[in-house]
Amino acid sequence: MTTTSTVPRQTVKPPAVHRSFVERWLARIFLAPTVLGMALFTFLPIIASLVLAFFRWDIISAPQFVGLDNFAVLAQDPTVRVSFLNTIVFVVVAVILQLGIALGLASMLQARMPSWLRVFLRSTFFFPLVLSAASVSIFMRYMFNEQFGVVNWLLSLVGIPAVPWLTSPTASAAVVVLVYVWQNFGFSFLLFLGALTNIPKELHEAANLDGATGWKQFSNVTLPLISPTVLVASVMAIISALQVFDQPYVLTNGGPGDSTRTAVMVIFESAFQQLEFGKASAIGLVLTVLILAVTALQFRLSRRFVFYQ
């Protein structure tokens, strides 16, 4: 079966709406606060950041035009290179885990179970999302402490030696991913839950009659039907993961070494600790281009796997 439409797309011209002069101005007045807010607090900083990428500025002295020097510094700075590489690896691992866990748990909640249990699980899965990332990370930092943390204490009960969770490059990266995924999968989970609930039961019944069960039914019926949601969830998850900051900053401060340092962390450190606003803006610009490119690629590729009813 297919859910793609066979009707060719047509450009439908909307009917002309004639509004009075007063209504037009009222609309503008009501829109003004939002437009002004966006202009002042979103577009202006973006433009300022774009311009700043070509200057050296430490807040205190006057900005000095340096052309492409900031970008040249980025290319030479191993920390910046490593942070981008870390970010990309983090995005791949965290997003796959986040979407996989969210989809798995949302599917699980479709199974027959008492409604109170469903409500309880739904709340439990969503709960981490409402917590402050910094608070969660501080808490986790204590839990994963090598010497005194509860995680190693639990492992010691079954004879497993202490793991240097936050002081070994591999383990610390794993902890950062784990904490991030635990805290963020709730949003994708809710999206998937909504999408799964909206699938007409008849489609699954028809698939059953055709002999499709289990994985076949999931891959041929469920997944295509929720593919628009998968696209939205993955775009949002990737954009969010590309901007990860709180968890690595609080848990490991980017270490050990640079093993958990992310691009946004380097932006923060460059701007607000090292007073290199030009360099920070240049990194921000590169990150923005990366986010735009990844998002555009996703939408481009989505033509192959997203099906709209």
CB 58 to other proteins: min, Å: 7
CB 164 to other proteins: min, Å: 6
Pick the closer one to other proteins by CB: 241 or 269.
269
For other proteins, the binding residues (CB under 8 A) are 56, 58-61, 77-79, 142, 145-148, 164, 166-169, 252-258, 261, 269, 272-276
Pick the closer one to other proteins by CB: 84 or 192.
84
Pick the closer one to other proteins by CB: 169 or 228.
169
Q: What is the 3-state secondary structure (H, E, C) of 32-79?
A: HHHHHHHHHHHHHHHHHHHHHCCEECCCCCCCEECCCHHHHHHHHCHH
Find how far residue 126's CA is from the centre of its chain: 15
Q: Tell me if 131 sits within 8 A of 112, measured CB to CB.
A: no
The number of beta carbons lying within 10 Å of the beta carbon of residue 143 is 17
CB 165 to other proteins: min, Å: 10
CB 61 to other proteins: min, Å: 8
Pick the closer one to other proteins by CB: 10 or 76.
76
Pick the closer one to other proteins by CB: 66 or 190.
66
Burial class (CB in 10 A: 0-12, 13-18, 19+), 239: middle
CB 249 to other proteins: min, Å: 10
The string of DSSP letters for 72-138 reads HHHHH-HHHHHHHHHHHHHHHHHHHHHHHHHHHHHHHTTSS--HHHHHHHHHHHHHHHHS-HHHHHH
Pick the closer one to other proteins by CB: 254 or 284.
254
Which residue reads 């011209």 in tokens?
13
Q: Tell me if 151 sits within 8 A of 140, measured CB to CB.
A: no
CB 222 to other proteins: min, Å: 43
